[in-house]
Amino acid sequence: MTISITTEFIRKTLYPIEVIDTPDILKQYAHDTLSCYDTNAAAILFPENTEQVQNIVQFAKKHHLKLIPSGGRTGMTGGATAIQHELIISMDKMNHILSINKTERLITCQPGVILQTLHEYVELHRLFYPITLAAKGSCQIGGTIATNAGGVHVVKYGNTRQWVAGLKIITGNGDYLDLNSRGLMKNNTGYALHELIIGSEGTLGIITEVTLRLTQLPKKPMTLLLSHDSLHHVMTCFNTTKQSITLLAFEFFDQSSLNQVMQHQTLQQPFQNEAPFYTLIEWEATPDSEELVFQLLEKGLSEGWVSDGVFSQNETQREQFWQYREHISEALRQDQPYKYDLSIPIASIPDFYEQVMPLFQQDSMRLQSAWFGHIGDGNIHLNVFQSTPNMQTEFYAKCEKLNQTLFAYVKKYGGSISAEHGIGLLKKPYLSFSRSASEVKLMQQIKTIFDPYHLLNPGKIFDMPSDDHHQNSAV
Ligand code: MLT
Ligand code: ZN
């Protein structure tokens, strides 16, 4: 039997958890940075601790309500978007750092801590949390774990997965699980269940406490900005620098991305001549760094795989270089692009580019593109847009039509349709290009074990065969 649950009833039953259902705030919390869905969240709940999250899940279970765990909402695939009248569980009030253990290099915090706040806190203790991304000022730790965020340092430090030592979660059944939350380095006692939660996009459990590994602060970085006349030359540059330097970052962008970011941030063209591609390369400075840079530049320029180059002489200059890369996504947003987040085996990127680029240029499409991303780990953020943003629905339909061919190329090259942004709602129709039917079936079975009533983040990543897609009865 389904009864209609009012906000008043939720508020009264779950007191003292704050519950908000004012239309403007509902709208704000009902989606991530992707705004192409008609959203309809029923209410937002603001728990403050694990016990309150457990109470919410048990309440939802009793009344057949659907839930969406929600962090900083900086995701790009609709992974935290409400389209089934779900209750949103915001982690905004679960934003405390609980402890730091310098001996074991561990930090324990609630999931709502902002990534940049965590960075600043650990740096005060002369330690380092290496996951960093453009949205660091607003994304929350819980969200970065739920999506296994990557960012600009993956080439040296790996993805979020490598840094999660343990978690506390509430499953969709309302059970509390302590998954190596003490952060033991060795704990071979069967399945590492916390690994399943990382990258599960809030579909298996709600993260209520996090233990992360930390490392030593890197030495002052040295940054190089280069231009290149082809992607093949970007590859030669990658292979050459990697031989003499331990890279911290190896990023790239094309002239189209640069044009957008220069206009948006009012920046100057970095070099006298435009070039098809640019790279931003960073590593820990050593006493012989400058010498190395000169050698590298000389070699690159004489062999032709570098067209122009400049290196940072101080921190201000370094920050200026990063502006060209870090603000691209924000600059592109005004054109409401269709976003791809592809993983392509690095050596195949130039070939992939040559195959895919003509798809946008054909007469029936006439679309513009911006290519940028973390090329050093094979992650390409291809953004597609129209020269004059209008008729958004037709534009999206065009892109969706292209997807079949584009994702077939991704598959052909052994890539993945999502590198670091996850599947959410946006990429769900294309999951079969990267995961087999048997894998999806297994994931659905795992989901049912953790979340037997399919309450958590319904419809994200894949649909559940048994779900009838009934909306929440919360009003
Ligand atoms: C980035 O690397 O800038 C982000 O992942 C954002 C994006 O892809 O738009
Ligand atoms: Zn990225």
- DSSP character at residue 272: S
The whole-number pLDDT of residue 365 equals 81
> Is the pLDDT reported for residue 352 higher than 90?
yes
Atom of ligand 1 nearest to the CA of 134: 3
Strand runs labelled E in 354-451: 368-374, 379-385
Question: 417-440, pLDDT tens digit by residue?
Answer: 999 999 999 999 999 999 999 999
- Token pair of 240, please? 């050459």
| Cβ atoms within 10 Å of 138's Cβ, excluding its own | 13
Q: Which atom of ligand 1 is nearest to the CA of 332?
A: 9
Q: Please give the Cα distance from 309 to 30 (Å, whole number).
A: 44
Residue 394's pLDDT band (boundaries 50, 70, 90)?
confident
Distance 381 CA to ligand 2 centre (A): 7
Instruction: Give the sheet arrangement for strand 176-179, strand by strand.
Output: 97-101, 106-109, 205-213, 164-171, 176-179
**Quick check: helix, strand or coil at residue 410?**
helix
Report, as an integer, the average pLDDT of 436-457. Answer: 98
CA distances from 116 to 72, 161, 392 (A): 12, 18, 34
Burial class of 80 by CB neighbour count within 10 A (0 to 12, 13 to 18, 19+): buried
Q: Whose CA is nearest to atom 8 of ligand 1?
A: 381
At 473 the pLDDT is 65
Q: Closest by alpha carbon to 201, among 468, 453, 450?
A: 450
Beta strand residue intervals within 290-428, DSSP E: 308-311, 338-339, 342-343, 368-374, 379-385
Rounded CA-CA distance 365/408 in Å is: 18
Confidence of residue 470 (pLDDT cuts 50, 70, 90): low
Task: Read off the pLDDT of residues 281-291 as tens digits, 9 standing for 90 and up.
Answer: 999 988 888 88
Q: What is the pLDDT of residue 255?
A: 98
pLDDT tens for 253-298 read 999 999 999 999 999 999 999 999 999 999 998 888 888 888 999 9
Which tokens hold the place of 278?
């640019």
The pLDDT of residue 21 is: 97
Averaged over 102-114, what is the pLDDT?
Answer: 98
Q: Is the pLDDT of residue 465 over 80?
A: yes
What is the per-residue pLDDT for 2? 43
As given in the structure block, the two tokens for residue 411 are: 């598959």
pLDDT, mean of residues 389-400: 84
* pLDDT at position 3 over 60: no
* Residue 466: pLDDT over 80: no
The pTM for the full model equals 0.95
Query: Helix (H, G, I), strand (E, B), or coil: what is residue 332?
Result: helix
Scanning the structure block, which residue is given the tokens 């008043």?
Answer: 8
Instruction: For the chain, give the percent of residues with pLDDT over 70.
Output: 98
Mutate which of 73, 251, 341, 382 for ligand 1? The one with the most ligand atoms within 8 Å of its CB, which is 341
**Centre of ligand 1 from the C-alpha of residue 464, in Å:** 29
Atom of ligand 1 nearest to the CA of 383: 9
Q: Report pLDDT digits (tens) over 157-193.
A: 999 999 999 999 999 999 999 999 999 999 999 999 9
Q: Which has the closest alpha carbon to 147: 33, 254, 51? A: 33
Question: How large is the average pLDDT for residues 119-134?
Answer: 97
Rounded-to-integer distance, Cα 165 and Cα 230, Å: 41
Over residues 60-82, the mean pLDDT reads 97
Structure-token match 């890279």, residue found: 247
Residues 6+ apart with CB under 8 A from 20: 26, 43, 44, 46
How remote is the CA of residue 276 from the centroid of ligand 2, in Å? 20
- Mean pLDDT value across the chain: 95
Position 44 pLDDT exceeds 90: yes
Contact 174, 57 (CB under 8 A): yes
Mean pLDDT, residues 397-424: 96
Average pLDDT over residues 392-414: 93
Q: Which H or E run includes 363?
A: none
Summarised one tens digit per residue, pLDDT across range 195-212 is 999 999 999 999 999 999
- Quote the strand ranges of 214-260, DSSP E: 215-216, 221-228, 247-254
Residue nearest to atom 7 of ligand 1 (CA): 329
Determine the pLDDT at residue 4: 76
What's the rounded Cα separation, in Å, for the pair 187 and 352? 41
Please provide the size of the chain in residues: 475
pLDDT category, 1, cuts 50, 70, 90? Answer: very low
Tens digits of per-residue pLDDT, 74-92? 999 999 999 999 999 999 9
Question: Which pLDDT score, from 0 to 100, does residue 357 have?
Answer: 95
Distances (CA, A) of 268 to 225, 264, 329: 14, 11, 18
**Six token digits for residue 127:** 């330690």
Mutation to probe ligand 1, out of 324, 372, 380 (largest number of atoms < 8 A from CB): 372
pLDDT at site 323: 97
Q: How confident is the model at residue 327 (pLDDT cuts 50, 70, 90)?
A: very high
What pLDDT, on the 0 to 100 scale, is given for residue 36?
85
Using most ligand atoms within 8 A of CB, pick from 34, 261, 329 the residue to mutate for ligand 1: 329
